[in-house]
């Protein structure tokens, strides 16, 4: 079955450590996205990538980094510079941006807790 | 700037009640509009969408009509079920980058 996988589902880290969240898709989608969700809030865009080897900052990129070396993979690193890293992180993908009828498909999410 | 505003929750209904979740937006141009649903502990699933004014999106008994004159995209369902309990997000896509802008989400609780 095609879809988006995120691993792990729950992740615990100590403050000051970098941590990398995995996102893999087998939908052959060109574009991929990372969102952060906090309780009672909508999703906020961290980074997005429209094509391999290219990515852009979203609204809250500070303290995060990404890479897009392969079409199917878009890992997110939460660095120690991120002041409030505890959150639910969602990865999404879509067909090429610019197609008016395209839609984003979401993975199951990773809940990161930093103490 | 572009934004989406949803009615605050939680919305608590009895089974078979009529549901309306209000969503209004501010955007330049002609955005596409979406409703996503999130069940506890899961990612988001696309519920329905509309890409131009007066379009009606529908799925699983839910409907929403793209109203450009009132900049609204209210979600409705005639008879809710306990299994509809979830968080509902309204979102718009306004540029060719594919970026989505989300409302804050509305929690729906349906009681038997």
Kindly report the CA angle at A59 between B50 and A64, in degrees rounded to 5?
125
Residue B107 has a CB neighbour count (10 Å cut-off) of 16
pLDDT at A100: 53
Does B46 touch chain A if contact means CB atoms closer than 8 Å? yes
Cα separation, B74 vs B54, whole angstroms: 12
Chain B residues whose CB is inside 8 A of the A97 CB are: 96-98
Does B47 touch chain A if contact means CB atoms closer than 8 Å? no
Model confidence at A71, pLDDT cuts 50, 70, 90, reads very high
Does B103 touch chain A if contact means CB atoms closer than 8 Å? yes
Strands B56-59 and B100-102, how do they pair? Answer: unpaired
Model confidence at B110, pLDDT cuts 50, 70, 90, reads very high
Q: What's the residue count for chain B?
A: 112
Backbone angles phi, psi at A8, to 5 degrees: -80, 180
Query: Please, are residues A31 and A48 in contact by the beta-carbon 8 Å criterion?
Result: yes
pLDDT at B53: 92
Over 60: is that where the pLDDT of A101 sits? no
Cα separation, A15 vs A34, whole angstroms: 21
Nearest to B43 among A40, A94, A108 (CB): A108
Nearest residue on chain A to B103, judged by CA atoms?
A: A42
CA B12 to chain centre: 16
pLDDT 10s digits, A51-70: 999 999 999 999 999 999 99
DSSP annotation of A99 reads -
Nearest to A42 among B41, B51, B89 (CB): B89
Tell if the CB–CB gap between A104 and B98 is shorter than 8 Å: yes
pLDDT 10s digits, B30-83: 889 999 999 988 899 999 999 889 999 999 999 999 999 999 999 999 999 999
Cα separation, A68 vs B103, whole angstroms: 28
Q: Catalogue the E-assigned strands of chain B.
A: 3-6, 11-14, 19-21, 23-26, 32-38, 44-50, 56-59, 62-65, 75-77, 86-93, 100-102, 106-111
Q: Which two tokens stand for residue B88?
A: 């509902």
Query: Please, are residues A37 and A60 in contact by the beta-carbon 8 Å criterion?
Result: no
3-state secondary structure of B83: helix
Distance from CA of B16 to the nearest CA of A (A): 26
pLDDT at B21: 98
DSSP annotation of B82 reads G
Q: Which two tokens stand for residue B109?
A: 């609780």
Cα separation, B65 vs B84, whole angstroms: 20
Mean pLDDT computed over B17-42: 92
């Amino acid at each position: 079955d095609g879809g988006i996988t995120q691993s792990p589902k729950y992740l615990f880290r100590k403050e000051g450590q970098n941590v990398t969240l995995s996102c893999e898709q087998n939908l052959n989608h060109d574009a991929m996205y990372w969102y952060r969700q906090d309780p009672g809030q909508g999703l906020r865009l961290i980074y997005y990538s429209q094509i391999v080897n290219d990515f852009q900052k979203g609204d809250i990129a500070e303290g995060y980094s990404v890479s897009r070396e392969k079409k199917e993979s878009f890992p997110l690193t939460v660095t120690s510079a991120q002041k409030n890293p505890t959150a639910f992180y969602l990865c999404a993908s879509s067909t090429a941006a610019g197609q008016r009828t395209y839609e984003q498909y979401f993975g199951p999410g990773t809940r990161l807790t930093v103490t | 700037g572009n934004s989406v505003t949803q009615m605050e929750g939680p919305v608590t209904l009895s089974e078979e009640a009529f549901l309306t979740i209000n969503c209004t937006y501010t955007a330049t141009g002609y955005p596409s509009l979406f409703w996503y649903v999130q069940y506890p502990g899961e990612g988001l699933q696309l519920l329905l969408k509309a890409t131009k004014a007066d379009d009606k999106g529908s799925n699983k008994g839910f409907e929403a009509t793209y109203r450009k004159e009132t900049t609204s995209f209210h979600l409705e369902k005639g008879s809710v079920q306990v299994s509809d309990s979830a968080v509902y997000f309204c979102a718009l896509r306004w540029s060719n980058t594919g970026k989505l802008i989300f409302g804050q989400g509305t929690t729906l609780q349906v009681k038997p």
